[in-house]
Amino acid sequence: METLLDPLSYAFFQKGLIVAALSGALLGFIGVYIVLRGMSYIGHGLSHAIFGGFAAMQLFAAQLYIVGAGLWGIASALAITNVARRSRLGADAAIGVITTASFALGVALFARFGTSGPAFDNALFGSILGITNSQILWLVLVTLFTVGVVFVRYRALMFTTFDPEVANVSGVKTGRTEALLMIMLSLAILVTLTVIGVTLVAAMLVIPAVIARMLTDSFARMLIISTIAGTFSGLAGMYLSYYAEVPSGTMIVLVGAVLFIIVLAATGARGLRRSAGMDSHAPRPTREVVS
């Protein structure tokens, strides 16, 4: 019990715990849509793209970093969606170019104008130090926004994820729905970036969702289980991070990975069968079937 209570005597840890739990929950929640749409790679790329905006705003207007990096992230997300849907060059290659270029820009800006130190490392690997009340507020607002959108657009999001073409001709504005999802994703990455870290955010989008998929065949239950798995990873990872004195993001992801292994061992072939083919909804260029 002391192990659990001792770190709570520090204000920074209390804030870190709240942010880690909320971050895990948020990424686990939205990760269901990302994983089922085969967009894990986009999540990974987007986190790197946002780093460019984060770096630029840290240097030129640090107080406004969340606004600037948010706009940068949303623009990147929409560009990525567009490229993934329409590119003739190959979505993976195009996304790779866009996102790594943005990441490289961030690194270059830091190297040329910034001071290498905690801010840079924190953005890459996450840190529980220096979390401000405004960061917590932003995280709460984005979480409420995401849950609210999923609540009112639950079926439209599920339909667009399962069968986008039929959803489109059945009255769902799939373009708008996908854009909304990408905005939610970029905002989620942005507000969790400082705790999880840009290099590890994608893992927390994927791992809880895959764990949940292995445990259930129900979409609604998958959302709930993924959120719980993300929350648990955040909480346990924070404590381990505190005691092991390593960046919070790494421990949060490692806890998720251990959970994944446990669930895989417990569910065996059934879990593998359930999680098979989760990349089969990757955004593809406009269909050219001419039968």
The whole-angstrom separation of Cα 253 and Cα 236 is 10
Among 104, 144, 155, 272, binds another protein (CB under 8 A): 155
- Report if residue 145 touches another protein, rule: CB under 8 A: no
**Quick check: helix, strand or coil at residue 14?**
helix
- Report if residue 269 touches another protein, rule: CB under 8 A: no
- Please, which of residues 23-42 interact with another protein by CB under 8 A? 36
Q: Which helix (H) or strand (E) holds 258?
A: helix 248-275
Residue 201 or 222 having the CB closest to another protein: 222
Residue 228 CB, shortest distance to another protein, in Å, is 16
What is the secondary structure of 175-205 as a DSSP string?
HHHHHHHHHHHHHHHHHHHHHH-TTTHHHHH
Binding part of the chain for another protein, among 1-9, 52-60, 156-164, 242-250 by CB under 8 A, reads: 156-164
Residue 178 CB, shortest distance to another protein, in Å, is 14
Among 42, 74, 156, 254, binds another protein (CB under 8 A): 156
Closest CA to 184 of 40, 78, 57: 78
Q: What is the DSSP letter of 97?
A: H
- Report if residue 163 touches another protein, rule: CB under 8 A: yes
- Report if residue 220 touches another protein, rule: CB under 8 A: yes
- Report if residue 245 touches another protein, rule: CB under 8 A: no
Binding part of the chain for another protein, among 10-18, 131-139, 194-202, 210-218 by CB under 8 A, reads: 210-218
Among 144, 162, 176, 243, binds another protein (CB under 8 A): 162
Take residue 86 and report the two structure tokens written for it: 């329409």
The whole-angstrom separation of Cα 126 and Cα 117 is 13
The whole-angstrom separation of Cα 55 and Cα 77 is 17
Residue 161 or 194 having the CB closest to another protein: 161
The whole-angstrom separation of Cα 219 and Cα 11 is 38
The answer for residues whose C-beta is within 8 angstroms of residue 139's C-beta and 6 or more apart is 19, 22, 23, 26, 191, 192
Take residue 268 and report the two structure tokens written for it: 């065996």
- Report if residue 222 touches another protein, rule: CB under 8 A: yes
Q: What is the DSSP letter of 288?
A: -
**Quick check: helix, strand or coil at residue 99?**
helix
Among 41, 72, 159, 232, binds another protein (CB under 8 A): 159
Q: Kindly list the residues in this chain that would bind another protein in the complex (CB under 8 A).
A: 36, 150-152, 154-156, 158-159, 161-163, 165-172, 213, 216-220, 222, 273-274, 276-278, 280-281, 286-291
